[in-house]
């Protein structure tokens, strides 16, 4: 896989983040108590948390209806004695609720990849099902409440013995403390938008974005808005329900970052404060905001569970891979969260939620439909996203740092191997490029970049892309069983090829 040209199949992301040279990574075969990492689907690739539906294995759903768990929808066995009234303990509930397998169409995000695909709108409104359910619940609650209230009034008019205490002067919208999750959410939600993108071919996606500056620029993922980049439609809806049309200013497929801009942006928009992702520590509190499964303004919490996680993600289709040295979080991230902010405890943005590791079976909500978060979410560090956003706003195209060599994308444990041949039969080491000038050759195995251990091609690419063109990096490689260390001045590539 060339650092300049993507397009080859994307391998599984390595199971461990890069580690400093003086801290060798523990072997997965010898680590005690280490939980195996969930496979990423058909190709093992962590993918965008909003991908097009794909077929999934129904084994998990079928297994739920085992002989040990009677089907709640089936009639009772006429030969079985009825349970006596008042029996204790009561009979065990069925293992799978009757509704567990309803509503799924067998489709789901094969790799939790691109954007959540909302269902086709029905006549009379998009949210008829939800509204109807709420309305029925309200009517039932109203009827029951009225009956109980009348009964209580008839039975006892004397409330002097009541033990309930009512709060006095309770404000309609209480102010939440800034240091709490509620306070952070209350302050951040007005600056987060739900994005709806539709391409000229009718394909669409739903994701999230957040206000980047007072000029109306919004930061999000490339895979959320890519379908609307060429003649498509794009809209942004704020938490107060106001909707604005938008346009794509620039996108970087390799970084999976995009900048869009509101048309006729309101004058009172407030950008989110950007934090410093380099200062984030494992265990720090995280708060994610997005529109999982189209449910706008959803807030979830967790921690930073790992840093510098090498991730190669795609939507499982024909799109090229994106690479990142990601922040890993266990805050729930699902289809529709893509492009949304990952905040720290102060409410500052530390990352852009971009990909999740899917469950192996994919049998999730509603039986065999889309599976939910398993606690492995990945965010683009905001320091990198900010640099890319500045490039896109200024020139409309991304700039990538490169070493000028193609490397294998096979998952390995011994480094990134420079291939014998580049994409399309070209030379794997660009003549007079950075790698060529430093003396690298086909077959060399790169094992370290500065103080970071490199265990595969995707790890090397992700680490290189944390730098800028012109930066000098120290590369350690092996040739004929001997280790060598050289300095390489990174070159650049403009635009997505």
**10-residue averages of pLDDT along the chain (497 residues):** 37 49 44 41 56 37 37 42 45 39 36 42 38 30 35 47 63 74 95 93 89 96 91 94 95 96 93 97 97 95 95 71 94 95 97 88 43 87 96 95 92 84 90 96 95 92 94 96 96 89
CA distances from 427 to 2, 176, 433, 437 (A): 10, 60, 11, 14
Catalytic annotation, pick one of 114, 217, 256, 354: 256
| Residue 307: predicted pLDDT | 95
What DSSP designation does 65 have? T
CA dist 271 to 219, 287, 354, Å?
Answer: 10, 17, 20
Q: 141 φ, ψ to 5°?
A: -65, -40
Sequence-separated contacts (24+) of 70-73 with Cβ below 8 Å: 70/94, 71/96, 72/96, 72/97, 72/98, 73/98
Classify the C-alpha dihedral 458-460-463-464 as positive or negative. negative
Catalytic residue list contains 65: no
Choice among 223, 315, 344, 371 that is catalytic:
223
Which of the residues 338, 361, 406, 408 is marked catalytic? 338
3-state secondary structure labels for all residues of 159-191: CCCCCCCCCCCCCCCCCCCCCCHHHHHHHHHHH
For the question of residue 315 being annotated catalytic, the response is: no
Cα(82)–Cα(59) distance, rounded to whole angstroms? Answer: 32
| Backbone dihedral angles phi then psi of residue 153, each to the nearest 5 degrees | -65, -40
The residue assigned the tokens 């509503």 is: 103
Helix, strand, coil percent values for the chain (each to nearest 5): 20, 30, 55
For the chain, the distance separating the N- and C-terminal CA atoms, rounded to the nearest angstrom, is 13
CA distances from 18 to 1, 77, 154, 304 (A): 19, 58, 72, 16
Within 10 A of 279 (CB to CB), how many other CB atoms are there? 10
Instruction: For 413-444, give the DSSP string.
Output: SS-EEBPSS-GGG--SB-TTSHHHHHT--TT-
Known catalytic residue at 268: no
Angstrom CA distances, 312 to 110, 195, 199, 401, 477, stand at 15, 24, 25, 17, 22
Q: Residue 342, exposed/middle/buried by CB under 10 A (0-12, 13-18, 19+)?
A: buried
- Euclidean distance between CA atoms 140 and 261, whole angstroms: 45
Closest CA to 479 of 437, 441, 450: 441
DSSP string, 456-478: SHHHHHHHHTTS-TT-EEEEEEE
Q: How high is the pLDDT of residue 178? A: 78
Please report the sign of the dihedral spanned by the C-alpha atoms of residue 126, residue 128, residue 133, residue 139. positive
> HEC states along 251-281?
EECCCCEEEEEECCCCCCCCCCCECCHHHCC
DSSP strand pairing (53-55 vs 107-109): antiparallel
Check if the beta carbon of residue 328 is closer than 8 Å to that of residue 354: no
Backbone angles phi, psi at 442, to 5 degrees: -55, 140
Q: Whole-angstrom Cα distance, residue 380 to residue 44?
A: 20
For residue 334 the two structure tokens come to 């699902």
């Amino acid at each position: 896989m060339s650092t300049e040209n993507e397009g080859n199949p994307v391998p599984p992301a390595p199971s461990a983040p890069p580690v400093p040279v003086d801290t060798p990574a523990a072997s997965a075969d010898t680590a005690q108590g280490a939980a195996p990492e969930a496979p990423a689907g058909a190709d093992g690739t962590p993918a965008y948390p909003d991908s097009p539906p794909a077929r999934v294995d129904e084994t998990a759903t079928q297994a739920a209806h085992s002989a040990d768990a009677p089907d709640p929808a089936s009639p009772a066995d006429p030969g079985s004695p009825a349970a006596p009234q008042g029996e204790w303990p009561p009979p065990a509930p069925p293992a799978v609720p009757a509704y567990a397998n309803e509503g799924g169409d067998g489709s789901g995000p094969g790799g939790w990849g691109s954007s959540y695909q909302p269902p086709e709108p029905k006549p009379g409104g998009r949210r008829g099902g939800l509204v109807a359910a709420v309305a029925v619940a309200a009517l039932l609650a109203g009827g029951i409440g009225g009956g109980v209230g009348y009964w209580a009034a008839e039975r006892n008019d004397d409330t002097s013995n009541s033990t309930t205490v009512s709060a006095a002067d309770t404000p309609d919208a209480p102010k939440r403390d800034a240091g709490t999750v509620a306070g952070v959410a209350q302050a951040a939600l007005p600056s987060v938008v739900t994005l709806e993108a539709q391409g000229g071919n009718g394909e669409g996606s739903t994701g999230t974005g957040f206000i980047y500056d007072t000029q109306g620029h919004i930061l999000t993922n490339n895979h959320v808005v890519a379908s609307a980049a060429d003649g498509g439609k794009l809209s942004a809806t704020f938490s107060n329900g106001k909707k604005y049309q938008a346009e794509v200013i620039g996108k970087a497929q390799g970084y999976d970052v995009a900048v869009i801009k509101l048309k006729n942006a309101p004058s009172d928009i407030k950008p989110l404060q950007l934090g410093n992702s380099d200062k984030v520590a494992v265990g720090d509190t995280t708060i994610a905001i997005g529109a999982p499964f189209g449910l706008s303004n959803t807030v979830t919490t967790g921690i930073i569970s790992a840093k510098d996680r090498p991730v190669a993600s795609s939507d499982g289709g024909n799109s090229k891979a994106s690479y990142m040295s990601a922040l890993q979080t266990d805050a729930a991230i699902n289809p529709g969260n893509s492009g949304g902010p990952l905040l720290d405890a102060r409410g500052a943005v530390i990352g852009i939620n971009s990909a999740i590791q899917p469950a192996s079976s994919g049998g999730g909500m509603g039986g065999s439909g889309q599976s939910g978060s398993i606690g492995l979410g990945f965010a683009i560090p905001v320091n990198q996203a900010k640099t890319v956003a500045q490039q896109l706003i200024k020139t409309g195209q991304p700039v990538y740092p490169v070493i000028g060599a193609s490397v294998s994308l096979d998952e390995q444990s011994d480094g990134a191997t420079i291939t014998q041949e580049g994409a399309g039969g070209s030379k794997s080491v660009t003549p007079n490029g950075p790698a060529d000038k430093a003396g690298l050759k086909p077959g060399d195995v790169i094992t370290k970049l500065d103080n970071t251990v490199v265990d595969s091609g995707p790890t090397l690419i992700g680490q290189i892309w944390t730098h800028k063109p012109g930066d000098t990096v120290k590369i350690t490689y092996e040739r004929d069983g001997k280790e060598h260390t050289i300095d390489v001045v990174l070159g650049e590539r403009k635009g997505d090829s």
